[in-house]
């Protein structure tokens, strides 16, 4: 059959990252030379390359692939030539559709050189089988790569290419992150400012006043790259979104996360932490409350500490231009959003709350300072009863989850064997495996939470001793500050006084 040289001879080349590992034989340059040589030898003219470099064969949105199909639909292409069928795609349904329906409909001749396929001679059964195995190979490779990335993360190796501000590559081990001696102190300062009650606007203002380069500008001066779009005319301009993202990034306390929020995996102690996990958790707790700063850029110091004793909802600060600072008050979030049928108002003035909290802090810290042994014994006894109960429940639940996790491993392995042997279809395997893998990821997340709870219980004695040391260091308590709350308070519950219809607060140190 003579080629139609009035139309385009499409020479399609594709290379994915996985294919690149196979070596030079699959390189784009090699494919181009092979296809051009074949076209010249067999009399094909008017050749045009369509090249997708770095795209997986299961991706239907490859730019040049889409471009070529549009040219086919517009009647501009007479022949499509590829090195082998897998270059056209690794989704067997899509590739079969192109070869058997789309190309014939537009009178396009299809040739896969190394597979010996030429639609002018008709297709044989092996063409469909090759498409199926190309699909199987892509799915199997994808699964293996995900497993490799997960294993790397669990070993503490870096699996991403982007390095967070505050870190740099370890010169002795490029797979590991270490704190950047210049940027890491900036990260610590940002966290400390937030823990002290500063809002993101106030933090940005502090960084600008102290002429600290923004992450994009800093990276440009260190590496010469503009990947973070540096504003070189305003090098000290920090955005609130940048600060906000940094304050929620677990990487700074030595952890790495992977996956979507609902299926998140956390790998602890994968690299040296810039800030302590205690400070990180404190900042997250602070951000759970109302984040809106005042005119000076400071956020509510009680945000994340104040809860309704009856419904458990947070209490929120009410302030405004026409409210004098001494009249600022807190109100139950449940009452605000759901009304009086859900909960009562639990109204308490901010200045009254300060008086109550400061009074209880003075009393508690004085006792801990003057009677450290008695305080230690009392705190350990009160906490141990509850800890033993929680520890027993957590251990039982952890045992059940670990058993189910092993069962899921066996189920997924058997499913994979059934797919390979042909006892179930690939589609059926994908459907079943996805459900079991989702359940397994949820189990692992729950197991991680339980392990953290058990670790926290074992730290009880450390927390009690820390409290005593802080009590000794803070002899004069003149006013309630974010620093005092951070040092001594874990939770404040506000109760209603039925007789006077007023609220009172109870602190948990």
Per-position DSSP letters for 215-265, written without gaps between them:
HHHHHHHHH---TT---TTSTT---HHHHHHHHT-GGGGT-EEES-GGG-E
How many domains does one find in the chain? 2
Q: Is residue 65 in some structural domain? A: yes
14 and 85 share one domain: yes
pLDDT at position 270 is 62
The distance in angstroms from the start CA to the end CA of the chain is 88
pLDDT at position 261 is 47
246 vs 242: CA distance, rounded Å:
6
Q: Output DSSP code: residue 159.
A: -
Longest dimension (CA), the chain: 102
Q: Output DSSP code: residue 163.
A: P
pLDDT at position 35 is 93
pLDDT at position 298 is 59
Angle at 414 between CA 411 and CA 415, to 5 degrees: 85
Provide the H-helix boundaries in 12-124: 17-20, 28-41, 63-73, 85-88, 92-97, 103-105
pLDDT at position 262 is 46
**pLDDT per residue as tens digits for the range 210-262:** 999 999 899 888 888 777 778 888 899 998 888 888 888 888 887 665 554 44
Q: Which two tokens stand for residue 278?
A: 């205690």
Structural domain that includes position 51: 8-152
- Which residue is listed with tokens 């308070």? 489
pLDDT at position 162 is 74
Q: Is residue 451 in some structural domain? A: no
89 vs 82: CA distance, rounded Å:
10
Contact (CB, 8 A) for 282 and 173: no
pLDDT at position 467 is 65
139 and 19 share one domain: yes
Sites in the chain below the pLDDT cut of 50: 23-25, 138, 260-263, 290, 459, 501
Q: Is residue 401 in some structural domain? A: no
Domain boundary, last residue among 248, 270, 289: 289
56 and 166 share one domain: no
120 and 180 share one domain: no
Residue 70 phi/psi, 5° resolution? -65, -40
Residue 248 phi/psi, 5° resolution? -115, 5
- pTM exceeding 0.75: no
pLDDT at position 64 is 93
**pLDDT per residue as tens digits for the range 361-399:** 888 878 878 887 887 777 666 555 555 666 677 777 778
101 and 186 share one domain: no
Residue 148 phi/psi, 5° resolution? -65, -45
212 and 144 share one domain: no
132 and 172 share one domain: no
Contact (CB, 8 A) for 50 and 87: no
CA distances from 387 to 282, 342, 454 (A): 22, 32, 9
78 vs 44: CA distance, rounded Å:
10
């Amino acid at each position: 059959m003579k080629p139609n040289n009035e139309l385009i001879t499409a020479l399609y080349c594709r290379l994915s990252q996985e294919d690149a590992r196979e070596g030079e034989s699959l390189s784009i340059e090699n494919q181009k030379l092979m296809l051009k040589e074949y076209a010249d030898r067999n009399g094909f003219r008017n050749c045009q390359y369509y090249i997708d470099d770095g795209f997986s064969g299961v991706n239907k949105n490859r730019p040049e692939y889409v471009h070529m199909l549009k040219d086919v639909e517009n009647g501009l292409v007479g022949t499509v030539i590829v090195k082998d069928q897998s270059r056209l795609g690794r989704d067997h349904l899509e590739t079969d559709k192109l070869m058997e329906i789309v190309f014939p409909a537009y009178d396009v001749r299809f040739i896969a050189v190394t597979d010996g396929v030429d639609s002018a001679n008709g297709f044989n059964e092996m063409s469909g089988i090759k498409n199926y195995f190309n699909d199987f190979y892509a799915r199997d490779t994808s699964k293996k790569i995900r497993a490799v990335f997960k294993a790397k993360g669990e070993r503490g190796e870096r699996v991403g290419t982007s390095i967070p501000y505050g870190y740099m590559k370890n010169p002795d081990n490029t797979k590991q992150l270490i704190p950047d001696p210049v940027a890491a102190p900036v990260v610590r300062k940002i966290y400390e400012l937030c823990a002290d009650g500063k809002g993101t606007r106030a933090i940005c203002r502090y960084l600008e006043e102290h002429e600290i380069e923004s992450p994009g500008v800093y990276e440009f001066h260190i590496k010469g790259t503009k990947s973070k779009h540096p504003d070189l005319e305003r090098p000290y301009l920090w955005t609130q979104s940048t600060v906000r993202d940094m304050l929620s990034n677990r990487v700074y306390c030595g952890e790495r996360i992977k996956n979507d929020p609902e299926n998140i995996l956390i790998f602890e102690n994968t690299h040296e932490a810039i800030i302590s996990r205690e400070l990180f958790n404190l900042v997250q707790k602070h951000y759970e409350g109302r984040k809106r700063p005042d005119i000076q850029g400071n956020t509510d110091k009680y945000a994340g500490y104040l809860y309704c004793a009856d419904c458990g909802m947070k209490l929120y600060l009410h302030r405004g231009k026409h409210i004098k600072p001494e009249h600022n008050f807190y109100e139950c979030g449940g009452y605000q959003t759901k009304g009086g049928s859900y909960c009562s108002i639990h109204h308490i003035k901010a200045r009254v709350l300060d008086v109550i909290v400061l009074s209880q802090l003075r009393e508690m810290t004085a006792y801990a300072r003057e009677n450290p042994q008695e305080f230690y014994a009392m705190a350990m006894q009160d906490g141990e009863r509850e800890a033993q109960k929680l520890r027993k429940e957590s251990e039982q639940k952890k045992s059940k989850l670990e058993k189910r996790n092993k069962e899921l491993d066996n189920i997924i392995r058997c499913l994979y064997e059934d797919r390979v042997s042909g006892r179930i279809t690939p589609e059926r395997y994908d459907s079943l495996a996805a459900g079991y893998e989702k359940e397994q990821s949820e189990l692992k997340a729950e197991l991680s939470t339980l392990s953290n709870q058990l670790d926290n219980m074992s730290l009880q004695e450390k927390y009690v001793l820390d409290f005593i040391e802080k009590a000794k260091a803070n002899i004069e308590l003149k006013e309630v500050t974010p620093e005092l709350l951070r040092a001594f308070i874990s939770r404040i519950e506000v109760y209603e006084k039925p007789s006077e219809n007023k609220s009172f607060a109870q602190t948990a140190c």
